[in-house]
Structure 1
Amino acid sequence: REVDPSEAEPAKVKEPRRPTFACYLAPSQYGPPGLYYHGQRQPKGDGDPAPFDVWICSPIECMAATHDERGDNHGLLLRFKSPYGPWRQWAMPLRLLKGSGEEMRGELMDMGVRINPDGFKPLHRWASQCRPDEVVVAATRVGWHRVEEALVFVMPRRTIAQGELARRITFQSEVAGQDEYATAGSLASWREAIGRLCSGNPLGVLSVSTALAGPLLHLCHRPTAGIHLVGDSSCGKTTW
């Protein structure tokens, strides 16, 4: 159960089997919410191993493994939470783990994840060791993709598909915040500002329809298309 860290009393959680990683969504006897490494050090001599606990970063979980339709571009679907915002998701390419994993940490920090300066090695090791059971398709480009013999349309933050197919594919990019798609206005405002002006105007209907037709070209087996408006100067070609 997720708890507001500012209001929660530290909870007593079950002692983990060391060495292991564990993610806590609420304060515990180990400290604030987050991903921890629970290890043990072997003392000199014949003494018992001494347990130790390291806070690595704010809460983060690995939801699924990813790869594209050809079995390449492997990655991890990560779910994480900053101290000030809701849960977010990012399909991270595994190539960002090369070297010390600095690129991965930079993207996570851009999205609000707090990372212990001394915890970058455990975070890198945690990501490298993740072996989730679920696997989803990684879409490395925006547009149409085929999943389980059905077509779906993938955008950075939304997948348009029937039923549960939207859960079987996700957009994957090295840049976590990449999203050139947005919504604005309302259906009523579009009708008033655009639809009303097109009423009874075939050229207006053609121009607006052409602007919205791009995603449909794939379904028509067309790589591209265009319309050339021909007419005298100052007759309204540029306006539409």
Structure 2
Amino acid sequence: FNSFMRNIRKFLSRLPRPCAIFAANDIVGECVLEAAAALGCSVPREFALVGVDNDRNVCENTSPTLSSIMLDFRRAGICAGEALEALLQGRRPQGNLLFGVSEVVHRQSTRKFRRNDPRIASALEYVRQHVCEGLQVVDVVRHMDCSRRLAEMRFREITGHSILTCIRRERRALAERLLRETDIPIADVAQACGYAHTNSFRKDFSALTGQSPRQYRKSSGTQHS
């Protein structure tokens, strides 16, 4: 299972954003949500996600809740019964028996979100410009010129995640770009991403991507250390 989750994190880290993901079933969808959270990615702002089966025990107990396709199991049962009846009568069922979709149950993982909040837009741009400077949540709150509670509430409402998650996501994106596109030493990558200690960078990067910085650089085709 750990290997499966590492593979999902690796897969998500290489996807363009925003994009939509179709999970084979709700259990896989739940795993994708966990992997996205580990990477600091927002669902549905970066990844819109839909599963299959509409298992309410799964879909309504994830964060965010999971949109899912409800299959027409009633029709599936009828098809199975008709096929069994044919076999009992010595007849072979004709071709594949098909059944379709009952409905798509929309939940938070595919919800629309507002992009037109100028304060949040300004804060996101501030994070992008200053993430290499050891940026902290308090710096973003100060830039937004409001209380920390209000800043966090607005961030979650508009982006779907916390200010800290946004900072970590931007640091990861910068680190990935530097590892892919340059040959500077990993210690310098850590410093460029606002880390005071290289070991802290290695630990955070591995937790977010499922790979060490060296492994990521090698897999991206830039073979330097």
Q: Output the TM-score relative to the length of structure 2.
A: 0.22
Task: Compare CA radii of gyration and give the structure with the larger one.
Answer: 1
Q: Larger % of helix: which?
A: 2
Q: Larger % of strand: which?
A: 1
Q: Output the TM-score relative to the length of structure 1.
A: 0.21
